[in-house]
């Protein structure tokens, strides 16, 4: 298991407390997105399609720590954008560790080696490095030749300096089961990382490349084929056994998006990390005003193919607590890789997807000076440029650490 014992015990205690209190919906992992700006432009990314003005927004240290306090989840994942571009990210991490949060700092690792001095090794801190398979696949996924070597060198340096490192691997439909199995061998036995987080890519509507996302059936078959090759190889996944069993098509789960609430530069995001359909000012408001039943596979078109850990790991963890013997059996023998799969969810009654993103961006930008680069963002999408009378000086503001 790619999660330290202290984290397992602390999270276990937290879950038990929620169960005793009878809390129906509670957070497990806070997804803290302090910025959207990235130094890569991966074709499968749905997080960076914003005008410059929005890409230059940052959550302050105080806002990040307040979000952690408001939410109370024992684990904080910091994705982005690229969090290492945030010039105060070390203070955010330090503040979270002071609060005894288990922090997963997600990074594409281009800037990791030169930023390691900003952090201290700790059982509370794990660098979660984006590595989407072997070189050929990773370089394509990040649209950068040589990206794999940079990430691998940074992982080795971080490990040498005593940091905990996790590989965060998103699977698309180009990777074969053999390639995935070899890659997990490499991560476990050569890189020696503490854990691997694996998930199928979510079909972001804003991603440039729409051709390589997996549908649910192909996801399940791919994971069965991978796990077949993994028997006895001791890959250290940082996810629960039941979530892996779900990926292999053996569990009939519904997502629990409130288990991974997202705080970003716009506020608390409804309903989940993967789709932004509204923003509110507080965690309490998010939990109380989101119409949870209108989302999820079978309820909403944008959820049709989702099997991502930030939606379903919470479900698997709750199932583990409710059915420990079942979970233990899966842990001991690994996910089942043959036999019938759990019934698939009926998609026929799912409501159509809303076009929230463009309206939201237009509203956000209506009172701010528009730069030439912002203007190009709207024009490229055939959208009216908001606040034309409010034209800025044409220069994008400089952002520290970039
Ligand atoms: S590194 Fe992550 S945030 Fe940056 S473009 Fe790629 S997927 Fe998006
Ligand atoms: S299925 Fe759940 S976690 Fe996935 S996109 Fe829909 S609401 Fe989010």
Q: What is the CATH number of the domain that holds 212?
A: 3.20.20.70
Residue 123 in domain: yes
Residue 343 in domain: no
Q: What is the pLDDT of residue 106?
A: 98
Q: Closest ligand to 208 CA? A: 1
Q: Which residue has the higher pLDDT, 272 or 213?
A: 272
**pTM (2 d.p.):** 0.94
Structural domain count, the chain: 1
User: Measured in angstroms, how far is the CA atom of residue 386 from the centroid of ligand 2?
Assistant: 30
The alpha carbon of residue 224 and the mean position of all alpha carbons in its chain are separated, in whole angstroms, by 22
Residue 186 in domain: yes
Residue 358 in domain: no
User: Measured in angstroms, how far is the CA atom of residue 235 from the centroid of ligand 2?
Assistant: 27
The alpha carbon of residue 219 and the mean position of all alpha carbons in its chain are separated, in whole angstroms, by 17
Give the domain range for residue 161: 5-333
Q: What is the pLDDT of residue 3?
A: 81
Indicate if the pLDDT at residue 146 is higher than 80: yes
Residue 101 in domain: yes
Residue 399 in domain: no
Residue 54 in domain: yes
Taking CA atoms only, the protein residue closest to ligand 2 atom 4 is 306
Indicate if the pLDDT at residue 397 is higher than 70: no
Least confidently predicted of 1-10, 114-123, 164-173, 191-200:
1-10
Nearest to 389 by CA among 362, 368, 359, 360: 368
Residue 376, CA atoms < 13 Å, CB-side half-sphere: 8
Q: Closest ligand to 313 CA? A: 2
Confidence tier at 177 by pLDDT (50, 70, 90): very high
Residue 267 in domain: yes
Q: What is the pLDDT of residue 4?
A: 81
Angle between helices 309-322 and 5-21 (to 10 degrees): 70
Q: What is the pLDDT of residue 208?
A: 85
Taking CA atoms only, the protein residue closest to ligand 1 atom 8 is 45
């Amino acid at each position: 298991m790619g999660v330290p014992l202290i984290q397992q015990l602390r999270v276990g205690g937290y879950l038990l407390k929620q169960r005793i209190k009878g809390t129906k919906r509670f957070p497990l992992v806070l997804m803290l997105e302090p910025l959207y700006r990235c130094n890569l432009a991966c074709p499968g990314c749905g997080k960076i399609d914003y005008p410059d003005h929005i890409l230059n927004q940052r959550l302050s240290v105080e806002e990040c720590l307040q979000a952690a306090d408001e939410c109370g989840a024992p684990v904080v994942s910091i994705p982005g954008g690229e969090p290492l571009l945030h010039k105060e990210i070390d203070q955010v991490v330090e503040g979270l560790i002071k609060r005894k949060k288990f922090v997963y700092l997600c990074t594409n690792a281009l800037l990791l080696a030169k930023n390691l001095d900003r952090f201290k090794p700790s059982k509370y801190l794990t660098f979660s490095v984006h590595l989407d398979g072997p070189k050929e696949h990773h370089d394509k996924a990040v649209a950068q030749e040589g990206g794999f070597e940079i990430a691998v060198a940074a992982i080795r340096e971080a490990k040498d300096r005593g940091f905990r490192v996790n590989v965060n691997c998103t699977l698309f439909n180009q990777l074969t089961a053999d390639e995935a199995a070899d890659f997990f061998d490499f991560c476990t036995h050569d890189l020696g990382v503490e854990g691997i987080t694996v998930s199928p890519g979510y079909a972001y509507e804003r991603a440039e490349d729409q051709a390589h996302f997996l549908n649910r059936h192909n996801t399940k078959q791919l994971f069965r084929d991978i796990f077949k090759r993994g028997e006895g190889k001791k890959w250290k996944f940082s996810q629960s056994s039941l979530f892996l069993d779900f990926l292999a098509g053996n569990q009939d789960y519904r997502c629990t998006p409130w288990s991974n609430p997202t705080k970003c530069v716009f506020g608390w995001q409804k309903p989940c990390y993967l789709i932004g359909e509204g923003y509110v000012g507080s965690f309490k408001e998010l939990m109380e005003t989101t119409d949870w039943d209108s989302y999820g596979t079978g309820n909403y078109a944008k959820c049709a193919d989702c099997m991502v850990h930030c939606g379903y790991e919470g479900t698997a963890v709750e199932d583990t607590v409710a059915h420990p013997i079942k979970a233990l059996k899966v842990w001991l023998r690994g996910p089942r890789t043959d036999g019938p799969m759990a019934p698939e969810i009926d998609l026929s009654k799912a409501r159509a997807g809303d076009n929230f993103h463009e309206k939201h961006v237009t509203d956000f930008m209506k009172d701010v000076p528009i730069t030439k680069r912002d203007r190009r963002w709207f024009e490229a999408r055939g959208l009216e440029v908001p606040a034309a009378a409010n034209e800025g000086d044409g220069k994008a503001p400089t952002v520290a650490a970039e």
